[in-house]
Amino acid sequence: MDLGSNLRARARVCLQQQEDEEMLVPHRELTEGPQPMEAETVSASENQQVEDPPTLKYRWTIENFSRLNTKKLYSDIFHVVGYKWRVLIFPKGNNVDHLSLYLDVADSATLPYGWSRYAQFSLAVVNQIHGKYTIRKDTQHQFNGRESDWGFTSFMSLSELYDPSRGYLVNDTCVIEAEVTVRKVVDYWSYDSKKETGYVGLKNQGATCYMNSLLQTLYHIPYFRKAVYHMPTTENDMPSGSIPLALQSLFYKLQYSDNSVATKELTKSFGWDTYDSFMQHDVQELNRVLCEKLEDKMKGTVVEGTIQHLFEGHHMNYIECINVDYKSTRKESFYDLQLDVKGCRDVYASFDKYVEVERLEGDNKYQAENHGLQDAKKGVLFIDFPPVLQLQLKRFEYDFMRDTMVKINDRYEFPLQLDLDKDNGKYLSPDADRRVRNLYTLHSVLVHSGGVHGGHYYAFIRPTLSHLWFKFDDEKVTKEDAKKALEEQYGGEEELPQTNPGLNNTTFKFTKYSNAYMLVYIRESDKEKIMCDVDEKDIAEHLRIRLKKEQEEKEHKKKEKAEAHLYTIIKVARNEDLMEQIGKEIFFDLVDHDKVRAFRIQKQLPFNHFKEEVFKEFGIPVQFQRFWLWAKRQNHTYRPNRPLTPQEETQSVGQLREVSNKTHNAELKLFLEVEIGPDLHFLPPPSKTKEEILLFFKLYDPEKEDLKFVGRLFVKSLGKPTEVFSKLIEMAEFPPNEEIDLYEEIKFEPTVMCEHIDKRISFKSSQLEDGDIICYQKSLTSTNRNQFRYPDVPSFLEYVRNRQVVFFRALEKPKEEDFSLELSKLFTYDDVVERVARQLGVDDPSKIRLSSHNCYSQQPKPQPIKYRGVDHLVDMLVHYNQTSDILYYEILDIPLPELQGLKTLKVAFHHAIKEEVVIHIIRLPKNSTVADVINDLKTKVELSRPDAEVRLLEVFYHKIYKIFPPGEKIENINDQYWTLRAEEIPEEEKSLGLHDRLIHVYHFTRDSNQNQMQVQNFGEPFFLVIKEGETLTDIKIRIQKKLQVPDDEFSKWKFAFISLGRPEYLQDSDIVSNRFQRRDIYGAWEQYLGLEHSDTAPKKAYTTNQNRHTFEKPVKIYN
């Protein structure tokens, strides 16, 4: 979700937009370049609900959708509590290849200045064939004059929307739904969760609401919290490196803090980086991984076994033969139970399904030891349930037909009290201890709001198991009634109220997209033990001291901030600071003011009194102190400008700060000049006339490549540099007659300027003044200059200004650092690849291909750097307004310039006789044609006959969309989303008769639980020649022979003529050609002969699906 304006976008880390992510933004026309941040849809608003808000559901039917010529289109206006709203769409996308969809304040132009209103809303594109595939996304926004519309720039791909078989466009009609909830609000800042509820929330790091809801649930199990407190940690541990300490710290703050608590220390202890915190994961997976980690960390401690004691139960898997006396059992443990939602009305129905007996008979008989194949029954029964029962509701499931995840929003009820001993303990095994009463009370309900593409998590919890429920929604905690925690989280559908009840209106039902996802029950008999008291005595003393100290420091900083207007910060730089910093921490200018001694002084204090503070700190008597004001010059350097006058030293600190600092930033920067005599005693500051200037000197050693501060001198402005040579040589400890060269360090931003000083003219003629810096070195001859990398001061400073250590990683291992090189930002493309090739031992640098680093996603950019596509190293490292120090490399088999001149295509060749498909990578010049691809392919594949002709097809979602003409250029062929298939052209297709038809034939099946008209294609599509008058019987014979399907299986197949996704089943005597009136085969995927049968091919495992959504990535805790 985007935060809206540029101001907000800068406030949070940006994620690189992935192709399947939505962008949630005002609808302003998009241009290329950096786009606002995308993350999850976060429901913690800057406002607080004070009463049940009014909600309206609006349905917009758009006819002739594909023929819309307008770039954007508004719906009619609809009203919610007097506010006017409308939906805004971009039918062809707002400069993206996705449908763009927004909610708009219809009368924003006429509203008074400063108006604002807050709304939670969802937008949906209805699937008119298959309701469960409706795409719905929800969010919220504070609408105002600057952001009067808000929504999703990339709502759904245009290819999916405009594909008539997908169900979003039926009869060229698109249906949009909007559900808008307008909340009466109070100011966010006036709401105090601790004051209102006694509890505090957790801050969202970007997409960590799923983690926050789980942590709140675990925290509010007091026995678990106490065990975490008793995990051994030491005062030397750091929370960011210790999961136990980070969790102890988090729980302590939740218990005793007055404000919402940050989770960054905890996620750092997991080993997560910023990008991990912006990846939405799965609550179930995080719960298991975290508990496994804690269980491991508790081993060998006083709390060993706590996780098992709280959450571990056991069930028995059994297989029992019916006709012989044989039974096989296996005991297994569980920490949570995954319960089916689909097809179950409530928790009890899910448990019934869990223990349902399966019959093993017929072809599926059980091989019993010593008894051979036997009829048997197979099932699961529970040996014992844990004190804390975690039920994971299977709201998400993988749809093999669509090769995607779907969310199950069906109504699913769960009771406040759960009796697992019901019906004489039908869920229990014979070995179960019947003395234990398995009666549970509901402790918490974790909710997922949204769809499979993203959403938001929050939790309803009863912290004391009383009648009081609380909603923990990131930073917000609110009191809620039981109905909201239970009934409203059942899911299912609700009807849209009729606007005119007297008329015979069609009733529309809307799916509720917020529903329970995880339930936590506590056993009644263990309630007192689990819901125990947890107080300070349970917390280790070092932890209490550490956290109290943190709290005190926080309060101290808060107090300082509140009193900041009464104080001035005086930063005092001395010779010692320059000696310490120059050549080590800094090279340009004189000092880093953030690393010098800072004094916090009341503004009203006279400056002369401040000098007493300096005496106490440094031991320098007041009479030997002289302070200089710093000044920022036009070239962005910062130098001592002039000493304070005696009159100024009588002024207050506050007055002096205003004199020195026009930006009013509460800081006064000073340089303390102190003179020390040969006997190391302090001397009074020398008198300074207008003819004298204070210069600072740095010494450069080209052999050691070392620059250091050696001192300062007062010189006469009309004097010449040669007059102070003896002093400079003495400061450098050079031989008396050493020749030296002088350079003035002028500036270093945006480029280095360091110019040679003419020894023969005066300092004034060289335009030197107070605070200027002179760098000097031994004079070099033209001969010995070549001995050094950076022979003089300008070249060294240029090197320092542009040096960059770059960390290189192999592209195939993007998380593993391989090697590092010190390079110059001014290195050309050729310089960089030459150094990388040398490091890798590659003879030809042009075989090195580099990719830049995305600072936000912490991943390689998808597009590699083109050969000489950037001028310098610095161009490779910049990503929008950030600079990285990471590059990725590949070693190619051919030079990059040659590769860039080629088009690479992945072609799947289907053998005419053998049942095999072989993927071939074809590389050809970009101006090649499809005929060139086919000719190249023929040299790599085994053909059924030497003179066989080959064609290239475009296949998508198991349909043939195109036969490529041989003359088509390959440069624009996209094999990233579409499958390129090559195959031999059958002889029968080469000589079509006048009345013959070439038709598409596709495999399909239907979901028995859904609309009977919806078909799902699968398998490999193909062409078939049908002749005029040919019956289905004749065609079936040819299809069976072509596909080599056994008789018993083929007899179960059904055949249908399918047009626009609707099947018309055929009889054996039907003349098939009568149904196919179109002679062209281009675009003919709309009409095809469908072969209905079950899909027996191996299904793609979900874990191999490359289109996983961000929240489906596996959770990893690294430490």
Of 616 and 6, the one with more pLDDT: 616
Rounded distance, CA 472 to CA 203, Å?
11
DSSP letters, 948-989, are --EEEEEEETTEEEEE--TT-BSTT--TTTSEEEEEEPPHHH
Under the phi-then-psi rule, with left for phi > 0, alpha for psi from -120 to 50, and beta for the rest, what region is 492? left
CA atoms lying within 13 Å on the CB side of residue 184 = 7
pLDDT at 1099 over 80: no
| Helical segments of 541-652, H only | 541-562, 575-581, 607-618, 646-649
pLDDT digit string (tens) for 574-608? 999 999 999 988 999 999 999 999 999 998 999 99
pLDDT digit string (tens) for 812-870? 898 888 999 999 998 999 999 999 999 999 999 999 999 999 887 788 988 899 999 99
Q: How much is the pTM?
A: 0.50
Question: Quick one: which H or E segment has residue 836?
Answer: helix 829-840
Q: Beta strands 626-632 and 638-643: pairing type?
A: antiparallel
- Residue that is written with structure tokens 């195109």 in the block: 962
pLDDT at 539 over 50: yes
Query: pLDDT value at position 35?
Result: 32
Contact of 556 with 486, CB cutoff 8 Å: no
Query: pLDDT value at position 53?
Result: 63
Percent of the residues in the chain that have a pLDDT greater than 70, as a whole number: 86
pLDDT digit string (tens) for 393-439? 988 876 666 666 788 889 999 999 999 999 999 999 998 999 999 99
Q: What angle do CA 320, 325, 327 make, to 5 degrees?
A: 30
Under the banding of pLDDT at 50, 70 and 90, the label for residue 18 is very low
Give the tokens for residue 501: 């009840």
pLDDT digit string (tens) for 71-80? 899 999 999 8
Does residue 750 have a cis bond before it (omega within 30 degrees)? Answer: yes
Of 185 and 679, the one with more pLDDT: 679
pLDDT at 33 over 90: no
Under the banding of pLDDT at 50, 70 and 90, the label for residue 243 is confident
Under the banding of pLDDT at 50, 70 and 90, the label for residue 526 is very high
For helices 243-256 and 541-562, angle between their N-to-C axes, nearest 10 degrees: 60
**Rg of the Cα atoms in the chain:** 38
Contact of 521 with 387, CB cutoff 8 Å: no
Q: Which of 418-432, 639-653, 1014-1028 has the lowest mean pLDDT?
A: 1014-1028
pLDDT at 1049 over 70: yes
pLDDT at 42 over 50: no
Burial classification of residue 363, based on how many CB atoms lie within 10 Å of its CB (0-12 exposed, 13-18 middle, 19 or more buried)? exposed
Query: What residues are annotated to the active site?
Result: 209, 456
First-to-last C-alpha distance (Å) of the chain: 30
Rounded distance, CA 406 to CA 452, Å?
6
Rounded distance, CA 728 to CA 499, Å?
93
| Helices H / strands E in the chain, number of each | 28, 60
Give the helix, strand, coil percentages of the chain, each rounded to 5. 25, 35, 40
Q: Which of 47-61, 308-322, 444-458, 666-680 has the lowest mean pLDDT?
A: 47-61
pLDDT digit string (tens) for 747-762? 988 888 999 999 999 9
Residue type, 470: F
Contact of 1093 with 1053, CB cutoff 8 Å: yes
pLDDT at 1008 over 60: no
| Average pLDDT score, the chain | 83
Q: What's the average model confidence in pLDDT over 142-164?
A: 87
Give the tokens for residue 602: 């009341």
CA atoms lying within 13 Å on the CB side of residue 182 = 16
Rounded distance, CA 1015 to CA 1011, Å?
9
Q: Beta strands 667-673 and 626-632: pairing type?
A: antiparallel
Percent of the residues in the chain that have a pLDDT greater than 90, as a whole number: 43
Under the banding of pLDDT at 50, 70 and 90, the label for residue 559 is confident
pLDDT at 4 over 70: no
Rounded distance, CA 848 to CA 863, Å?
15
Q: Beta strands 47-49 and 509-511: pairing type?
A: unpaired
1109 alpha-carbon distance from chain centroid: 10
pLDDT digit string (tens) for 890-909? 999 899 998 888 888 888 89
Residue in 840, 853, 720 with CA at minimum distance from that of residue 774: 720
Residues across the chain:
1119
Give the tokens for residue 1105: 């699906």
DSSP secondary-structure letter at 292?
H
Give the tokens for residue 1065: 């089943």
Query: pLDDT value at position 973?
Result: 84
Residue in 89, 85, 87, 86 with CA at minimum distance from that of residue 70: 89
Q: Which of 107-121, 486-500, 631-645, 926-940 has the lowest mean pLDDT?
A: 486-500
Under the banding of pLDDT at 50, 70 and 90, the label for residue 189 is low
Q: What's the average model confidence in pLDDT over 793-800?
A: 93
pLDDT digit string (tens) for 702-738? 999 999 999 999 999 999 999 999 999 999 999 999 9
Give the tokens for residue 232: 């051994």
Rounded distance, CA 177 to CA 1030, Å?
47
Rounded distance, CA 10 to CA 3, Å?
9
Under the banding of pLDDT at 50, 70 and 90, the label for residue 176 is very high
Q: What's the average model confidence in pLDDT over 1093-1117?
A: 43
Under the banding of pLDDT at 50, 70 and 90, the label for residue 249 is confident
Under the banding of pLDDT at 50, 70 and 90, the label for residue 84 is very high
Of 1074 and 348, the one with more pLDDT: 348
Rounded distance, CA 129 to CA 134, Å?
9
Burial classification of residue 179, based on how many CB atoms lie within 10 Å of its CB (0-12 exposed, 13-18 middle, 19 or more buried)? buried
Query: pLDDT value at position 1005?
Result: 87
Burial classification of residue 559, based on how many CB atoms lie within 10 Å of its CB (0-12 exposed, 13-18 middle, 19 or more buried)? exposed
Under the banding of pLDDT at 50, 70 and 90, the label for residue 340 is very high
Query: pLDDT value at position 37?
Result: 28
Rounded distance, CA 580 to CA 574, Å?
10
Query: pLDDT value at position 323?
Result: 92
Question: Quick one: which H or E segment has residue 423?
Answer: helix 422-425
Under the banding of pLDDT at 50, 70 and 90, the label for residue 644 is very high
Query: pLDDT value at position 993?
Result: 81
In degrees rounded to 5, what are phi and psi of residue 322?
-90, -40
Greatest Cα pair distance in the chain: 121
Contact of 448 with 512, CB cutoff 8 Å: no
Under the banding of pLDDT at 50, 70 and 90, the label for residue 230 is confident
